[in-house]
Amino acid sequence: MTENNQNKIKKSDILSWNKVTFDKILQSNDMIPENFRGKISLDPDKDFVLNSQIGQNLENICPTNAISYKNTLESISLDVGKCIFCGNCQQDMPKLIKISNNFDMAKKRKTHLLEVFPESVPFGKTYEEIGDELKNKINKTFGRSLAIREIDAGSCNGCEIEISALTNPIYDIEQFGMHFVASPRHADLLLVTGPASKNMEKALKIAYESTPEPKLVIAVGACACSGGIFGKNYATTGGIDSIVPVDVFIPGCPPRPQAILYGIMLALDKI
Amino acid sequence: MNNKIIEHYLSKLEQLEFKFKRHVQNNNEIHIELEDSSQLIEFCNILKLDMNLRLLTMIYCDERKINHAFSLRYLLGSDTDDVFLFVILFIDKKHAYFPSLSDVFPSSIKYEREINDMFGIQTQGDTTLKPLLLHDFQKNIFPLRKDFHANTELNYTPRKFKFTPITGDGICEIPVGPIHAGIIEPGHFRFSVIGENIVNMETRLGYAHKGIEKIAENMSINNVVFLSERISGDESVANSMAFCQAIEKISQLEIPEKAKQIRLLFAELERIYNHFGTLSGILNDIGFSYGASRLEILKEYVMQLNEKLSGSRLLFGVNQIGGVKIDISNTSLVDIHSMLDNIFQNFEKILEHIQSNSSVIDRLRNTGIIEKQTANDLGVVGLSSICTGIDTDTRKNHPYGYYSSINFEQTPRTYMEHQVKLQKRIGDVLSRFMSRVDELRYSKKLIKSISNLETGEINVPLESKLTPFSSGLGYAESHRGETLHWIMIGEDNSIFRYKIRTASFANWSIIEHAVLNNIVADFPVINKSFDFSYSGNDL
């Protein structure tokens, strides 16, 4: 660790007992170390040329098939929702794949999690975008307080650790008017983790149905977005959007507390 | 050193009046195949009584392709010597059942239920086993058989689970779960109560079943490391270490000394942040939120330290086959030491505050008592067993990695045994609380015992092709207890069978005994004091 890093620790010295809570979690990037594997993107260097060997190689190296190479189009795509942030691909091809320590990865549409190189050009306003605008108006009905219910649909408990870290004195989610409630009947928002195991499918449906309208659902972590490393198999359904409608997808394995908060804010259109 | 122990055990086995084939592999594994399989129960009984062995796990494997039979390995282990005994039984078409060991080892029932679910093989004469992991799956689906493909589309029909009926005047049932009030994993608890007192509690788990053992068979071994980290997110280092060690054992790969040191550092850091989390959870569940918040801060602080070192708050992506991925320099080691000093200075202050608070201690003392005999019968491992005085520390009994070069004379567990003798530790929540405190101090001591990192490589490549159908047992001590990973290699460096037994799987059944005669309101704190992983149990 460099001297610079040590200063950073002192800046947010939790153990001095004076002030513990961070008021501006989403801005205080200095508490995230440089080597945290956060935002992953296809950001090629100028001299980078994609060929089929590089493409195939990256496709093979990815444990969750998040990277796929299309031979005919000579294009490579990265599904951030499937990524478990192991860092294998960056080690293999640092010229194409960049991993930074940012955490603002949450997206409202599953298709927005997909990155393609070379990029295809989007056109016009889609049906979904018009629908999103309408939804924004609904979001205003929640006012300034938000009741959250966490549902574990078979996760490895990594996401639970990060979600419960949101309630600790350091992240202190209650400062934003959000609190965790004990029943889906009291909730405005469901935070769902896990690849939605078949055994939890029914319970998740019942919980969704008993949440009063208007409601939001956030898929937390790679498993909830796409099935993650478990994918879709005999015991999992491959992402919770196959069971309940999802408003925001938060990639990460697990997403750090700030990333979860960013996703919640995105769901509420407060960012 | 180890050869002497193995020879001692072999000579003891020779004295028995049974005929069997045996061979020794991977230094500490003795494989035994009885000539007359009907003597199995008798044989295991003698092993238990004469050699003081206990049942660690039962490994079922579909070997119809190689041996034209299913194989069943009873894995027995000793609490004092570094030796593992595999008693192998082959089950062919003629009789599609195996003898039940539940009279000798009551803990075997859970493994028998698992085998019944995943392979459809029943114990002799018993057809009343309840399903364990598969809930609404269609009948006659046995996921771990080789003729079942992991991605098969199945039909799911609701099936009713029969809880043991408890009836009588004034007895009420309280169903809880699978979605709980707190931020925890899914599981169902069925309480039968008279007034406030629990007279019976039945757990139904399996909600987090993700088919880990099956999908590992279709992955390359380097990717299975990532899978093993996600067996239970908070045990990522212990599980991936056990997996890597199993592969390293099979391929006889000697990893660099520095990699061993780094593995120990991360394993102990993992233990520290989890114990802080559990202690904080116990205090939170009894309503002492001041102490809980303070310990949460310490946990967060260790997690931030984890991230600075490895790039992941939960230490994902640390281990790889042949060593570690993350290098630690001697300057960061000094930083780790000074940060731990700082954290533990505060911890001792908080602890003093907690221990002088009579409302906390009164609530913890005599709550959720487990008896030594029950813990022994159910094969409980780790912290849950040590609070009754049973010593099952894998780091000490089966030293692996850098732990073998550490002197284990005064461990918190020997200290604990002394306390048990003095009747200060009786297996209640307080004794589990205090044994976690001892573990924490000891983990810090272990980290501080590494004052200088070796120089050189941090990993070596796995070059050799692994022999098909060779097997090995990897083990590690997670913060919950002994974690065992048994691997049989298939063709082309694939995995033929991956059997995982986490400490959670071995321990879950003890909770049904711990809550008896307690009030329902104490269940959360009893549950938290054990801190089992649901995902690690359901796989």
Q: Which of residues 255-274 of B touch A (CB under 8 A)?
A: none
Neighbouring-strand partners of residue A98: A41
- For A45-74, b/e burial (b = at least 16 CB within 10 A) is eeeeebeeebbebbbebbbbebbbbeeeee
> What is the least distance, in Å, from the CA of A233 to any CA of chain B?
4
Q: Which of residues 209-238 of A touch B (CB under 8 A)?
A: 228-236
Altogether, the residues listed in chain A come to a count of: 271
**DSSP-derived secondary structure letter, A212:** P
Contact by Cβ (8 Å): B138, B164: no
Q: Do A162 and B183 touch (CB under 8 A)?
A: no
The mean of the pLDDT values for chain B is: 86
Confidence of residue A130 (pLDDT cuts 50, 70, 90): very low
Q: Best of A31, A152, A181, A237 to disrupt the B interface by mutation (most B CBs within 10 Å)?
A: A152
Q: SS3 of B23, please?
A: strand
Q: What is the pLDDT of residue A132?
A: 54
Say what percent of chain A tops pLDDT 70.
76
pLDDT of B125 above 70: no
The CATH code belonging to domain A20-117 is 3.30.70.3270
Neighbouring-strand partners of residue B458: none
pLDDT of A16 above 70: no
Q: What is the pLDDT of residue B274?
A: 93
Angle, CA of A40, A46 and A52, to the nearest 5°:
70
Token readout for B385 is 């067993």
Q: How far apart are CA B68 and CA B16, in angstroms?
A: 30
Q: Do B312 and A151 touch (CB under 8 A)?
A: no
Confidence of residue B106 (pLDDT cuts 50, 70, 90): confident
More confident residue, B417 or B90: B90
Token readout for B471 is 């097997």
Q: SS3 of A126, please?
A: coil
**DSSP-derived secondary structure letter, B256:** P
Q: Does domain A127-268 have CATH number 3.90.1150.10?
A: no
Phi and psi angles of residue A235, each rounded to the nearest 5 degrees, phi first = -110, -10
- The ranges assigned to domains in chain A are 20-117, 127-268
Q: What is the pLDDT of residue A126?
A: 47
Q: Which of B292, B428, B285, B443 is nearest to B353 (CA)?
A: B292
Residues in A touching B539 (Cβ below 8 Å) = none
Q: What is the pLDDT of residue B427?
A: 84
Per residue in B17-61, pLDDT (tens digit) is: 778 888 888 888 888 888 777 788 888 888 888 888 888 899 988
Q: Which of residues 129-148 of B touch A (CB under 8 A)?
A: 134-137, 141, 143, 148
Q: How far apart are CA B308 and CA B272, in angstroms?
A: 16
- The ranges assigned to domains in chain B are 2-123, 171-204, 212-538
pLDDT of A166 above 90: no
Phi and psi angles of residue A78, each rounded to the nearest 5 degrees, phi first = -125, 120
Nearest CA in chain B to A193: B185
pLDDT of B421 above 70: no
Q: Do A162 and B535 touch (CB under 8 A)?
A: no
Q: Best of A156, A172, A178 to disrupt the B interface by mutation (most B CBs within 10 Å)?
A: A156
The CATH code belonging to domain B2-123 is 3.30.460.80
Q: What is the pLDDT of residue A270?
A: 52
Check CB contact of B210 with chain A, cutoff 8 Å: yes
* Identity of the amino acid at A109: R
* Minimum mean pLDDT range among A133-137, B138-142, B238-242: A133-137
The mean of the pLDDT values for chain A is: 77
Q: Is the N-terminal amide bond of A254 cis, ω within 30° of 0?
A: yes
Across the interface, of B136, B226, B232, the residue whose CB is closest to A63 is B226
Check CB contact of B182 with chain A, cutoff 8 Å: yes
Per residue in B465-477, pLDDT (tens digit) is: 888 888 899 999 9
Q: Do B231 and A156 touch (CB under 8 A)?
A: yes
Confidence of residue B423 (pLDDT cuts 50, 70, 90): low
The CATH code belonging to domain B212-538 is 1.10.645.10
Angle, CA of A79, A82 and A85, to the nearest 5°:
100
Per residue in B283-328, pLDDT (tens digit) is: 998 988 899 999 999 999 898 888 888 888 888 888 888 888 888 8
Q: What is the pLDDT of residue A125?
A: 47
* Minimum mean pLDDT range among A66-70, B176-180, B189-193, B209-213: A66-70
Per residue in B231-290, pLDDT (tens digit) is: 998 899 999 999 999 998 888 888 888 899 999 999 999 999 999 999 999 999 898 889
Confidence of residue A124 (pLDDT cuts 50, 70, 90): very low
CA A47 to chain centre: 31
Confidence of residue A127 (pLDDT cuts 50, 70, 90): very low
Residue B295: CB atoms within 10 Å: 26
